[in-house]
Each structure stands twice: as structure tokens, then as C-alpha cells.
């Protein structure tokens, strides 16, 4: 399997696990939500790791002002996704393991973390939809080539 196929497989599994993590809103058990979220966390880390060279080169071009407007927006969405998923992952871990945050900071009330977790998850969902639409031409080309 070549590198492009690895990227595609990770992207597809990431989408599946990300969408599945929203099953918590429809009665999914908390342990299953944590397992699915953990898998999405691992896949999102792999996704960013695989695309790190591209993100780095786009970041350098962005700083030098050599990017077209479309690529600038893609880069901004990517950075916002990384930020919102990081917040979602951290708050999810803190909610999932409350003894950790209690021992660290003496905090008993997790409501604020829950709100931040939910807000970052919803913002992530919107950004993922935007991210997919930004790459729709690549997705179409991939499936057209398969026929």
C-alpha cells in the first residue's frame, strides 16, 4: 500500500470514528464513546503526522505571503481543526478521568469541561464538513479514477 492509500485509509477511518463518536447524543454508552473518541484521537494524530510536511510548507508559504486565497482558507481551517480537536481531546480525557483533574487542581465540578467539550466537538463537526468540501475535487478525482 503506497503513502497515498495510507492517507486515504486513515482519512476514511477517521471520518467513520469521528461520526460514530457523536453516537453519545443518541444513547451510546460512555465507555464506547470514550473508546471511539480514543480511536479518533489516534487517527487524527496519524492524519496530522502524515500531512506534517505539507502543513509545514504551507505554513512557511503563508508567512511569506506566497499563498493563494483558497489555500490560505484551507490552512486556516486545518489549524482550527487541530485546535478544536486538541481542546476536545483534552477536555474529554479530563471528563473521562475526573480523579486526574481532582488530584491535579482539586476541581470537582466538571460542568465547564463538559460544555467546552461539547462546544469544541460541534465546532469540529462544522470544520470537518468545511474541510471535506474544500477537498471535494480530490475526493471526486479519486473515485472517478477507480471506475
pLDDT, tens digit (0-9, with 9 covering 90-100), for 20-69: 888 888 888 988 998 998 898 899 888 888 888 877 888 778 778 777 88
H helical segments located in the chain: 3-21, 30-50, 52-64, 69-96, 98-105, 111-134, 136-146
As a whole number of Å, the CA-based R_g of the chain is 17
pLDDT of residue 52: 81
Q: Is the predicted pLDDT of residue 109 greater than 80, yes or no? A: no
Residues 6+ apart with CB under 8 A from 96: 30, 34
- In this predicted structure, the answer to whether residue 8 has a pLDDT above a threshold of 90 is no
CB distance 121 to 22 below 8 Å: yes
What is the residue-wise DSSP string for 24-53? GGGT--HHHHHHHHHHHHHHHHHHHHHTHH
Confidence of residue 99 (pLDDT cuts 50, 70, 90): low
Sequence ranges of the domains in the chain: 1-49, 69-136
What does the block give as the cell for 107?
476541581
Q: What pLDDT score was predicted for residue 103?
A: 62
With a cut of 70, say whether residue 102 has pLDDT above it. Answer: no
Amino acid at each position: 500500500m503506497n503513502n497515498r492509500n495510507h492517507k486515504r485509509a486513515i482519512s476514511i477511518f477517521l471520518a467513520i470514528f469521528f461520526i460514530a463518536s457523536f453516537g453519545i447524543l443518541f444513547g451510546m454508552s460512555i465507555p464506547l464513546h470514550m473508546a471511539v473518541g480514543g480511536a479518533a484521537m489516534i487517527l487524527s494524530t496519524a492524519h496530522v503526522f502524515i500531512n506534517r510536511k505539507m502543513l509545514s510548507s504551507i505554513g512557511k508559504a503563508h508567512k511569506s505571503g506566497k499563498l493563494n486565497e483558497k489555500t490560505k482558507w484551507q490552512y486556516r481551517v486545518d489549524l482550527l481543526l487541530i485546535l478544536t480537536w486538541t481542546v476536545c481531546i483534552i477536555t474529554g480525557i479530563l471528563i473521562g478521568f475526573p480523579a486526574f483533574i481532582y488530584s491535579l487542581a482539586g476541581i470537582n465540578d466538571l460542568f465547564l469541561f463538559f460544555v467546552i467539550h461539547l462546544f469544541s466537538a460541534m465546532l469540529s463537526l462544522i470544520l470537518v464538513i468545511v474541510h471535506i468540501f474544500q477537498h471535494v475535487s480530490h475526493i471526486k478525482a479519486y473515485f472517478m479514477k477507480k471506475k
